[in-house]
Amino acid sequence: MPLNNKIKNQHLLWRAGFGPMAENIAVLENISTKELWQTLLSTSVDAPTKMNVAADPKNDKAFMNEDGTPIQYKEMDAVTKKLIVQQYRTDLKDMNIAWLNNMINSKAQLREKLTFFWHGHFACRSRNALYAQELFNIIKENAIGNFGDMLRAVSKSPAMLQFLNNQQNRKGHPNENFAREVMELFTLGRGNYTENDIKEGARAFTGWSYNKDGEFEFRKRAHDDGAKTFFTQTGNFSGDDIINMLLKNPQTANFICKKMYKFFVNEKVDNGKVELLAKRFYENNYDISKLIEDIFTSDWFFEQKNIGVKIKSPIELIAGIRRFLPMNLDNDDAQLLFQKVLGQILFYPPNVAGWAGGRAWIDSSTLMVRLQIPQALSSKDEINIRPKTDDDTEMGMTEGKRIRLGKKAAFTKAGATANIDWMLVNKIFEKTARPQLLQAIIDTLLQTKGRVIDATLAKYINNESRENFIKSVVVNVMSTPEYQMC
């Protein structure tokens, strides 16, 4: 049975963006998927505005000498250092909220979604907000550009060099961490290089560092300029040479395409499709725009087996709800709490491999919270949630947000009440007759083949008015396991 146009367009918006927005969902039945793709592309091709949320605390007068020069970090006392750490933590929280708001409101949905993908691919956790911001801007700028250019820029960013310990990689005392992860996680994938390649690659990356202003710096005296054997070739290779050799290896294209297929298409990989994508990606010199066009304009992308089978990540879930339900939150910081309890905090990947995705998003505790979010936002009810502990992702969320339930400390949504513009939601269905209204809402919100049972929904539907009917159906459908899929 052929899919209708609306389902196909919703599929494209969920995968190439963060789902349909209330203001434009009414046009999805009439616009072709080709036209919608061109709109997504055209609204994302312009160079993005750089994020400029984090400020350098060293430029604050409080951290300057009497003559106006910055106090060197090593000369600061413990109190001053603590103030800088607190400022960075605040900036990281503000960066998180700023980016999430862009995911929800930006017209450049394709660029935002690709930035989100590469954010997980080039996973990096930096406590220095300025370094994290610079890495984010590099990824966003190159998200639809050339993978090779992005790889080089990311590899020379202070955030990544620091995270992967390359400032400790010196001639005579190589640190292999950076070289290993560049091969295993960024380019080739595990099993497609040797331990000797890692050792020799690490020698090539010696001297790659950054200065006190956070700028890339090649320290020649720390660089090993001896002959190295990499991929059976021998020469006086530099770090740039190693990256070029990794890009010349077709396995890099295959690794990237397989990862993108799992993220944008289906966790169950079709190796034949990946091989074709990788071949074209490699021949097109790693042009990301051509790769995503090959994916999102293919007939197989819209096959039924690829629709409604992907578990939404926490960020996709939160952004998707907020795109469909236009709202103002009383407390933006509460979104950080939802991210933490659901296991995905922007700028805080769990490790260098990023988020596992797929079924890893769901367990007994996270599913219950997922199902409660729409109701909590719409009714302003409190929900009690307790994030999993992590030594480096508190982000200040434990401060002032504990309540006591018996002897156990729990977390509350801490004022995450939302003022939802239900008029915009009602307008989506203004031309739908009452008898068809329930099914129309279900078809708009769900991409899965399985459907919620009308008799189950009927227990929770408010029939006092058309507006109350729409509101109650929307909230309750969003609170189903089926809505967790896209």
Residue spans per domain, the chain: 5-42+250-306, 47-145, 314-420, 422-484
**C-beta atoms surrounding 349 within 10 Å:** 19
Q: Which of 439, 436, 469, 472 is nearest to 453 (CA)?
A: 439
CA distance 270 to 264: 13
- For residue 64, what pLDDT band results from cuts at 50, 70 and 90? low
- Say what the pLDDT of residue 234 is: 98
98-111, pLDDT tens digit by residue?
999 999 999 999 99
Instruction: Report CA-CA distances (Å) from 115 to 119, 123, 149, 357.
Output: 6, 12, 15, 16
For residue 405, what pLDDT is reported?
20
248 vs 308: CA distance, rounded Å: 36
The reported pLDDT for the residue numbered 413 is: 41
Q: What is the mean pLDDT of the chain?
A: 89
Average pLDDT over residues 396-408: 35
> pLDDT band at 454, cuts 50/70/90?
low
What is the Cβ-side half-sphere exposure of residue 391, based on CA atoms within 13 angstroms? Answer: 1
Over residues 118-149, the pLDDT tens digits come to 999 999 999 999 999 999 999 999 999 999 99
What confidence category does residue 334 fall into, taking pLDDT thresholds of 50, 70 and 90? confident
Instruction: Please give the share of the chain, as a percent, with pLDDT higher than 70.
Output: 87
Mean of the pLDDT values across residues 432-458? 86
Q: What whole-number distance in Å separates Cα of residue 106 and Cα of residue 103?
A: 6
The pLDDT confidence band at residue 4, using thresholds 50, 70 and 90, is confident
Residues 184 and 164: their CA atoms lie apart, in Å, by: 13
250 φ, ψ (degrees, to nearest 5):
-60, -20
Q: Which residue has the higher pLDDT, 449 or 54?
A: 54
Chain CA centroid to CA 449, Å: 26
Do the beta carbons of residue 33 and residue 302 sit within 8 Å?
yes
Q: What does the alpha-carbon distance between residue 35 and residue 43 come to, in Å, rounded to a whole number?
A: 12
pLDDT, mean of residues 195-204: 98
What type of residue sits at position 411?
A: F
Q: What is the pLDDT of residue 399?
A: 41
Across the range 450-474, mean pLDDT stands at: 85
Q: Output the pLDDT for position 78.
A: 79
> Given a cut of 70, is residue 58 above it in pLDDT?
no
Q: How confident is the model at residue 332 (pLDDT cuts 50, 70, 90)?
A: confident
CB distance 329 to 97 below 8 Å: no
DSSP states along 411-444: EE--S--EEE-HHHHHHHTTTS-HHHHHHHHHHH
What tokens appear for 208 in the block? 């790659």
Interior angle at CA 395, CA 332 and CA 212, nearest 5: 115
DSSP letters of 211-273? -TTS-EEE-GGGS--S-EEETTEEE---HHHHHHHHHHSHHHHHHHHHHHHHHHT-SS--HHH
Largest CA distance in the chain: 80
Cα–Cα dist 270/257, whole Å: 11
Q: Residue 70: beta bridge partners?
A: 64
Which run of H or E residues covers position 208? strand 208-210
Distance of alpha carbon 272 from alpha carbon 290, whole angstroms: 18
Looking at residue 381, its pLDDT comes to 58
**What digits encode the pLDDT tens for the residues 148-180?**
999 999 999 999 999 999 999 999 999 999 999
Task: Band the pLDDT of 403: cuts 50, 70, 90.
Answer: very low
For 353-433, where are the alpha helices, taking DSSP H only? 364-379, 422-428
In this predicted structure, the answer to whether residue 68 has a pLDDT above a threshold of 60 is: no
Model confidence pLDDT, tens digit, residues 11-50: 999 999 999 999 889 889 999 999 999 999 999 999 999 9
**pLDDT digits over 240-287, tens only?**
999 999 999 999 999 999 999 999 999 999 999 999 999 999 999 999
Six token digits for residue 12: 């494209």
Average pLDDT, integer, range 212-225: 94
Of residues 390 and 459, the one with the higher pLDDT is: 459
Q: How far does the chain reach from its first CA to its final CA, in angstroms?
A: 19
Mean pLDDT of 353-380: 91
pLDDT at 330: 80
DSSP H or E stretch at residue 408: strand 408-412
Q: Is 210 helix (H, G, I), strand (E, B) or coil?
A: strand
pLDDT given at position 417: 67
Q: What integer pLDDT is reported at residue 72 of this predicted model?
A: 66
What is the pLDDT, as a whole number, of residue 66? Answer: 58
